[in-house]
Structure formats: structure tokens, C-alpha cells
Amino acid sequence: MNKTFPAFALALATLLPCGASADSPSTFQPIFNGKNLEGWHGRPHFSPIKLAEMSAEERKEKMAQWQSDAEQHWSVENGELVNDGKGAYLVTDNDYRDYELKLQYKTVARADSGIYLKGNPQVQIWDSTDPNKFDIGADKGSGGLWNNSAGAPGKDPLVLADKPFGEWNDVRIQQVGARTSVWLNGKQVVDHAIMENYWDRDTPLFVEGPIELQTHGGEIRWRNIELRELTVDEANDILASHQADGFESIFDGKSLAGWTGATDSYEVVDGAIRCKKGTGGNLLTEKEYGNFVVRLEFRLPPGGNNGLAIRSPLKGNPAYAAMCELQVLDNTAEKYQNLDPRQFHGSAYGMAAATRGYLRDVGQWNFQQVTVDGSRITVELNGTVILETDLSEVTDFMADSPHPGKDRAEGHFGFAGHGDPVQFRGLSIRSL
């Protein structure tokens, strides 16, 4: 995966207002008022990519058609949102990034429905007793990420949790980046699985998007639709706490004990390691690692530039002498706009480009997980995989500069400072 964040996604963000992000934990708020369709609009199974590529006039005309269709098939009865099994789906006017969603639904035999997240299909809802659909997984029940690839985590629900027809089903969804967890009637059916981008399998799930209620084949009713946006700290805590067993802290939060190299160029401030402004150099762990997973949080100042040294020697430039330097960079800074794609955040410097667009706003803490296994490197930023590469297969190097360290099997982990006060905290490593 080495594409930049698609331009259509940036354009899409201008179509609909984005839900505001709270500075402190929020409570669940209704996104369906129980009275009418305010806050929602019609849209069928239609690619957000194609929608963003339309002219403003074409888009307005298309959305008006969908809205007219939706109004014929959606209604509100006794505080319940009702669809007759036909017509356009219903989509929130707002976009959301990291959130928890709760709702209840009740449907009928042979109906088929789902919940699109960030405009992407879907958390599956269907008739688990219909033998005509057992060959595509209906017997496994609802709640899975049905549009994930065959065999991918999350595609099939972990347990069958559907209630009998005529009863209300309770759904809770937690989404951080592309990481999606689903509970159906109190049972977890999807555990922190990556939701694939159905509309473009070569790029990650959109950074944000609307909630969409799909329906076809039979009446479905929805009620108590509530959403709570996650704060940055809450989202990062969810990512850090998942499968945390086996990770060992490599930073005590108070000192640079266990670190070597340019220790005079770094300081500990408020529980974080910070590169001193105007200085730089490589701060490395005393211990060496071969195959490992490292988790950390980092915070960029405007125009901030640093890097993660992977399997580095104690001497030399990690970008070339180590297996690689993974860029830590403010991609939004004007001075960086003309870089080679292999120089933006998360990239294996000069060798493999990461997908852009998934950093949090400058000044906010980002969560990143890096997996180093043999010659393969995976970078997951804020719950979304932005780089998957095998450095043994790289033959095209930026500026034709050799990378003699890329085949190193072991080395130190650390930071390659470039004079900016980039901060790091929550550092832990698990050896593979």
C-alpha cells in the first residue's frame, strides 16, 4: 500500500458538514429525533468517490432525486424510523471519524439490510434462518463486516446473536480509524477488525464519513439511534489497550534510562520524550531488536519533522544505515508540499510511500503501531494501515541513493531528530 490519500476523499469532506469533536468525553446524543427525517438524506448504494467526482450541479440533481425517492419509502411511526424495504437508503448529513454508535432494529423474514460506516458497506443485518442465503453466510448471523474480503477478520460474526423476528435487536459499534468492533444483543461479534474500503480496495477506509442505513427485501424499523464522538485520548486508549499483553514499556516517563546516543538533544517533559528545538541526532534504545511490534504516541508541532529508526546501528544516518527510517512529519506544512511521496509521514524514507491523510490535527496526539517482521513493515496510524511493504522487493530508491542497511536483521529502535520539538510517549515493544 503506497498510494497517497485520494483527492476524492478530500473533496468529499466539503460535501457535508463534519460532526464536531469534543475536547472532553461526550455523552451519547440522538442522531434521529424520533419525529421526522431531519439530519438525514437519501442515497442508495452509490460510491462516495463517484459522488465527489461529479460537478456541483450534477451532484445537486442526483441528491435531489435520491431525496425524493427516500421520502416515498421512509416514514416515522411512534418514534420509530420505518422503511418499507424499497427505495434509497438513509444517510446522516454529518460525517464522523472516531465514535461509538448505538441503535435498535427490528426486521422481518428474508429482509436484508445493513449499517454503512463512513459511507462504506457494511455491518450486515439479515435473516439468519433463510437457507437460500446460507451459502453466503446468513446462517452465521448478523453483525459481521460482510463486505470484507473472504477470510478477512470481521467478515463473519464471532457468534450467532440475532433475536427472533418481532423482537428488537440492540447494536453497539465502536470505530477508531478503520478498526471496528460490533456488539449485537450484548455479544461481541466483531473484535477490532479492520473494515476494508469496499469502494477502492487499494486504499484504506475513508478517514471520516456518514452513517448510512441500508434496506432492501422487507420492512425494517430503527429506533434509539445515538452516537458519541470519541476524544483523541479515548480513541488512542482504545488502540493501545487492544491485545496489550506481551508489550514491555521502553520509557519510564521520567528519564532517558535505557536510551543512548544523542541524549543531550532530547528531554523529558510532562511524561514525554521531546527533541530539543534546534537540535537533533539519533536517540536509540540500548537494547537491540529483530522482529517486533512497537506502539507509541507522538505529537507534531507545525512543520515538525522526526523519524523512527528501525533496526539501526549506533552510528550513521538511520534513513540509510538502518533497515529504514519511518518518517514522522507534519504532512500539512506548506514547506513539505513538493516532497517525494516516499518522504511523507509513515513512509520508509526514500523507499516506500505511505498513504497520506490520516494524521490528526497538528498539536494532537497520534497513535501509531509499527510491525517489523523479517523484511516486511506495516505502519498503522490512528487505527488505519497506511503502509504495508516488503523492503526486500524495493528496487527503486529516491534519488538513486543506496540503502545499505535495509537488509539488517537486527538493530536499535529510536528517534532521528531534525531540530523540531516532536514529542513521543506511551512507548512499548513486543518481540515477535
CA separation for the pair 133, 139 (Å, rounded): 8
Rounded distance, CA 67 to CA 72, Å?
9
Whichever domain contains 267, its CATH number is 2.60.120.560
pLDDT at residue 21 is higher than 80: no
Q: With beta carbons less than 8 A apart as the criterion, state whether 429 and 294 touch.
A: yes
Residues 270 and 358 in one domain: yes
User: Which of 209, 230, 251 lies at the terminal end of a domain, its last residue?
Assistant: 230
How do residues 382-400 score in pLDDT, each as one tens digit? 999 999 999 999 999 999 9
**Arithmetic mean of pLDDT, 33-52:** 96
Number of H-type helices and E-type strands within the chain: 5, 26
Cβ within 8 Å of residue 263, ≥6 positions away: 256, 283
* Domain presence at residue 87: yes
Residue 266 CA to residue 31 CA, distance in Å, equals 46
What's the mean pLDDT in 118-147?
93
pLDDT exceeds 80 at position 404 = yes
In a domain, 1, yes or no: no
Cell numbers at residue 324, please?
A: 529504514
Percent of the chain with pLDDT over 90: 89
Q: What is the mean pLDDT of residues 399-415?
A: 96
Query: Within a domain: residue 2?
Result: no
Q: Are 265 and 278 in contact (CB under 8 A)?
A: no
Cβ burial of 316 (10 Å; 0-12, 13-18, 19+) is middle
Cα end-to-end span (Å), the chain: 23
CA 23 to chain centre: 20
> Mean pLDDT, to the nearest integer, of 293-307?
98
Domain identity same for 160 and 226: yes
What pLDDT shows up at residue 23? 61
Label residue 352 by pLDDT band (50, 70, 90).
Answer: very high
Give the SS3 label for residue 91: strand
**DSSP conformation class of 354:** P
Identify the domain containing residue 18 by its residue range. Answer: 7-230
CA-based max dimension of the chain:
71
Determine what percent of the chain is predicted with pLDDT higher than 70: 94
**Domain shared by 312 and 214, yes or no:** no
**pLDDT at residue 232 is higher than 80:** yes
Looking at the structure, do residues 262 and 344 belong to the same domain, yes or no? yes
- Among 198, 230, 262, identify where a domain stops: 230
- Give, as one character, the DSSP assignment of residue 93: S
> What's the grid cell of residue 303?
512543520
Cα(345)–Cα(236) distance, integer angstroms: 18
Q: Tell me, yes or no, whether 392 lies in a domain.
A: yes
Q: Are residues 45 and 21 in the same domain?
A: yes
Domain tally for the chain? Answer: 2
Q: Cis (ω within 30 of 0) for the bond into 124?
A: no
Position 26 confidence tier, pLDDT thresholds 50, 70, 90: confident
Where is the domain boundary, 203, 230, 257?
230
**H helix runs in 13-124, sequence order:** 48-53, 56-73
Q: Alpha-carbon distance 168 to 176, whole Å?
A: 26
Is 93 inside a domain boundary?
Answer: yes
Q: Are 104 and 122 members of one domain? A: yes
Look at residue 161 and tell me if it is in a domain: yes
Q: What pLDDT, on the 0 to 100 scale, is given for residue 9?
A: 45
Q: Residues 266, 145: one domain?
A: no
Place of cell 427490528: 106
**CA distances, 347 to each of 240, 310, 324, 343 (Å):** 22, 12, 9, 6
What's phi and psi for 325, nearest 5 deg?
-110, 125
Bridge-partner residues for 184, per DSSP? 171, 187
The pLDDT-based confidence of 7 (bands split at 50, 70, 90) is: very low
Q: Based on the fold, state whether residues 424 and 408 are members of the same structural domain.
A: yes
Three-point CA angle 363, 369, 370, nearest 5°: 120
Q: Assess whether 276 and 214 both reside in one domain.
A: no
Q: 186-204 burial string, b = 16+ CB within 10 Å, else e?
A: eebbbebbbbbbbbbeebb
pLDDT of residue 233 exceeding 70: yes
Least confident of 38-47, 52-61, 108-117: 108-117
Could you read off the pLDDT of 329-347 as tens digits, one per residue? 999 999 999 999 999 999 9
> Which helix or strand (DSSP H or E) is residue 318 part of?
helix 318-321
Pair (141, 201) in one structural domain? yes
Angstrom distance (rounded) from CA 345 to CA 326: 7
- State whether 375 and 289 are in the same domain: yes
- Measured between alpha carbons, how far is 136 from 132 in angstroms, rounded to an integer? 9
Give domain status of residue 159, yes or no.
yes
pLDDT in tens, 208-225: 999 999 988 899 999 999
- Average pLDDT estimate for 318-334: 97
Claim to verify: residue 334 and residue 419 sit in the same structural domain: yes
Residue 376 lies in a domain: yes
